[in-house]
Copies of this chain bind each other. A is one copy, B any other.
């Protein structure tokens, strides 16, 4: 069975003071349905990716919560895996269609972070880490700083190498109307920004964001859809997940994310393509070092050689760094961006002749990794 994405939409990402989780979800799903030219009545299940609503807002049971908001009484689930919640929701949505249990479903990622105090958000985000890390008062900037330091020591990676990731992603974001940031930045600005957790500085870190994104996943190109209209649907070639230890202390090697390597290897095998075939990728750059790790661990380049990469465009949306990182929404937004790129409707940031794309979504400091490969 072939599974397609026939509709995809994201809200604006950013500090959305007048939006609620409900309004964000409704906007994303409504626009994804409109994109697919599909009535909501064809939706048979809803997969919601979200991390923080329970811890920060006291609201759980988000499957039924958003199903009600959309006027649906169908099967509905909240899938959680920290910042990989969106990717995991899509993985289960795809499998549910492949299973034959459902024909057409929605994968929705949504997060509203700015309504809460930043220190509460930081504490809640540590719900993705290990017992020891939480007890020690570690934060994710601190944990990724450890990964950055290990990479610098092993491969001579410089702070400027990392800063270059932020510069690129801010430039991409400046071309994306839905991105949180529209300001281009320079290496010097990154280098001079406040230290957060040495060697990571403010402009090495993705922001706290609100936003939602949704995709329509289906095996049907006929029912209620412009039947088989090429260019309107993107095929999902592979959807894979792997996990690793929650804590850094339990890992053998801090210069790679093993879960990314495993999920990536499996995805390329299932899709029958190699890293060379990927024209455009959205990878999980929660911190600049994370994009470098992702490109290496997915097999796009050798360790320490990310600066030599030429054949593909990475994070055209602006990535988590420039487009914003509403954690549960990120994994779905990455897929929306790739769909837009493959369908040739990415506007000023369009990657020319993009035919095959990849997304890579990470939970915690690499305990969960999700990879999707898509083609038009």
Indicate whether A100 reaches chain B with its CB closer than 8 angstroms. Answer: yes
Complex Cα distance, B241 from A242, in Å, reads 27
Complex Cα distance, B254 from A8, in Å, reads 37
Interface positions of A from 68 to 121, Cβ below 8 Å from B: 68, 72-82, 88, 91-92, 94-101
Closest chain B CB from A319 CB (angstroms): 22
Indicate whether A262 reaches chain B with its CB closer than 8 angstroms. Answer: yes
B80–A78 CB distance below 8 A = yes
A73–B124 CB distance below 8 A = no
Closest chain B CB from A24 CB (angstroms): 15
Q: Kindly list chain B residues whose C-beta atoms are within 8 Å of the C-beta of A259.
A: 73
A60–B67 CB distance below 8 A = no
Indicate whether A246 reaches chain B with its CB closer than 8 angstroms. Answer: yes
- Output the residue of A60, A95, A239 with the most chain B CB within 10 A: A60
A64–B95 CB distance below 8 A = no
Contact of A76 among B45, B81, B126, B134 (CB under 8 A): B81
Contact of A363 among B51, B64, B80, B262 (CB under 8 A): B64
Q: Kindly list chain B residues whose C-beta atoms are within 8 Å of the C-beta of A92.
A: 77, 79, 92, 95-96
Indicate whether A65 reaches chain B with its CB closer than 8 angstroms. Answer: yes
Indicate whether A127 reaches chain B with its CB closer than 8 angstroms. Answer: yes
B127–A63 CB distance below 8 A = no
Indicate whether A154 reaches chain B with its CB closer than 8 angstroms. Answer: no
Closest chain B CB from A260 CB (angstroms): 12
Contact of A63 among B51, B72, B77, B368 (CB under 8 A): B368
A82–B61 CB distance below 8 A = yes
Indicate whether A186 reaches chain B with its CB closer than 8 angstroms. Answer: no
Indicate whether A54 reaches chain B with its CB closer than 8 angstroms. Answer: yes
Q: Kindly list chain B residues whose C-beta atoms are within 8 Å of the C-beta of A59.
A: 127, 131, 134
Q: Kindly list chain B residues whose C-beta atoms are within 8 Å of the C-beta of A45.
A: 241
Indicate whether A128 reaches chain B with its CB closer than 8 angstroms. Answer: yes
Complex Cα distance, B258 from A73, in Å, reads 9
Q: Kindly list chain B residues whose C-beta atoms are within 8 Å of the C-beta of A82.
A: 60-61, 64
B64–A81 CB distance below 8 A = yes
B364–A61 CB distance below 8 A = yes
Indicate whether A240 reaches chain B with its CB closer than 8 angstroms. Answer: yes
Indicate whether A250 reaches chain B with its CB closer than 8 angstroms. Answer: yes
Q: Kindly list chain B residues whose C-beta atoms are within 8 Å of the C-beta of A77.
A: 79-81, 88, 91-92, 241
Complex Cα distance, B74 from A6, in Å, reads 29
A72–B243 CB distance below 8 A = yes
Q: Kindly list chain B residues whose C-beta atoms are within 8 Å of the C-beta of A127.
A: 54, 58-61
B73–A262 CB distance below 8 A = yes
Q: Kindly list chain B residues whose C-beta atoms are within 8 Å of the C-beta of A97.
A: 99
Indicate whether A235 reaches chain B with its CB closer than 8 angstroms. Answer: no
B243–A76 CB distance below 8 A = yes
Contact of A134 among B58, B80, B88, B262 (CB under 8 A): B58
Q: Chain A: residues with CB nearer than 8 A to chain B?
A: 45, 51, 54-55, 58-65, 67-68, 72-82, 88, 91-92, 94-101, 123-124, 126-129, 131, 134, 239-246, 250, 258-259, 262, 363-364, 367-368
The contact sample of 17 A-B pairs, CB cut-off 8 A, is A54-B55, A58-B134, A59-B131, A60-B82, A61-B82, A61-B367, A63-B80, A63-B368, A64-B82, A64-B245, A68-B246, A77-B91, A77-B92, A77-B241, A92-B92, A95-B95, A96-B99
Q: Sort A-B residue pairs by CB-CB distance and give the 10 closest, nearest first.
A: A75-B241, A98-B99, A60-B127, A64-B367, A95-B99, A61-B82, A99-B99, A64-B243, A61-B128, A78-B80
